[in-house]
């Protein structure tokens, strides 16, 4: 699609949307949001960019194949689930929390890493699907 307006705005929107997706991801523990929604928003950012500037431009920004985000995300989520078994000897998926508050992030714990894993998996799957379809058309 060759539209000057879309071209220009997509370049500005990409970092903004990715930033917003990270915000949604971090907000997700007590408020609406989380890894899944955040991942979708991030994927939309890249898809919009791909619509405006073509697939190759987006691939240049991403550098790696989006499919690789799937195992990475799964690995992060799995490790955060296994972590309590290794560190404190509690069952799988028990929440581990760092006691002090961290500025901006608030409390962090293993749940955040689990959500981050979900985030990467969602981005990876959405982009893989969309990229594969638009490549084959």
Partner 1 sequence: MSEHLTIYPIIVHLLTAILLLLSWMNPKVQRYISIIGSIVGIIVGGLLFSQVWTEGIQSVQLGNWKAPFGITMVADTFAVTLIVLTNIVALAVSIISTRNMVSSRLKFGYYAIFHFLIMGLSGAFITGDLFSLYVWFEVIIISSFVLLTIGGRNIQIEGAVKYFTLNMLSSIIFLTGIAMVYGVTGSLNMAELSRIIPEIENQGLVHTISLIFFIGFGVKSGVFPLYFWLPASYHTPPAAVSALFAGLLTKVGIYAMIRVFTLIFPLGEINQMILMVVAGFTIFFGGIGALVQKDIQRIFSYLIICHIGFMVGGLSLFTEVAIVGAVMYMFHDIIVKATLFLIGGVMYRIFGSTRLYDMGGLMDNYPRLSFLFAIPMFALVGVPPLSGFWPKVSLFMASYTQGEMFLLIMFIFASLITLVIIAKIWNSTFSKKPVEREKRKAFKYFEKFSFAEKAAYIVPIIILVGVTLYYSFFAEHFQVISERIGKELMNTEHYYNAVFGIKEETKL
Please list the residues that pair with 102 across neighbouring strands: 106
The position carrying tokens 């594969």 is: 132
Residue 90 binds partner 1, judged by CB under 8 A: yes
Binding residue for partner 1 (CB under 8 A) from 18, 48, 62, 74?
A: 74
Residue 91 binds partner 1, judged by CB under 8 A: yes
Binding residue for partner 1 (CB under 8 A) from 2, 5, 63, 89?
A: 89
Residue 101 binds partner 1, judged by CB under 8 A: no
Binding residue for partner 1 (CB under 8 A) from 61, 85, 87, 129?
A: 85
Angle between the N-to-C axes of helices 35-53 and 4-27, in degrees from 0 to 180, rounded to the nearest 10: 170
Smallest CA-to-CA distance from 45 within 15, 73, 88 is with 15
The position carrying tokens 């990270």 is: 22
The rounded distance, in Å, linking the Cα atoms of 125 and 10 is 21
Residue ranges binding partner 1 (CB under 8 A)? 67-68, 70-72, 74-75, 78, 82, 84-85, 89-95
């Amino acid at each position: 699609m060759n539209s000057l307006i879309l071209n220009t705005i997509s370049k500005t929107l990409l970092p903004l949307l990715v930033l917003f997706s990270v915000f949604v991801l971090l907000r997700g523990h007590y408020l609406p949001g989380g890894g899944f929604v955040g991942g979708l928003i991030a994927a939309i950012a890249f898809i919009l960019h791909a619509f405006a500037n073509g697939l190759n431009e987006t691939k240049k920004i991403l550098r790696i194949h989006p499919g690789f985000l799937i195992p990475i995300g799964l690995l992060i989520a799995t490790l955060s689930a296994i972590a309590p078994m290794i560190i404190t000897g509690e069952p799988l998926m028990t929440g581990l929390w760092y006691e002090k508050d961290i500025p901006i992030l608030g409390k962090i714990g293993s749940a955040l890493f689990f959500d981050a894993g979900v985030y990467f998996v969602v981005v990876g799957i959405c982009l893989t699907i969309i990229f594969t379809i638009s490549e084959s058309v």
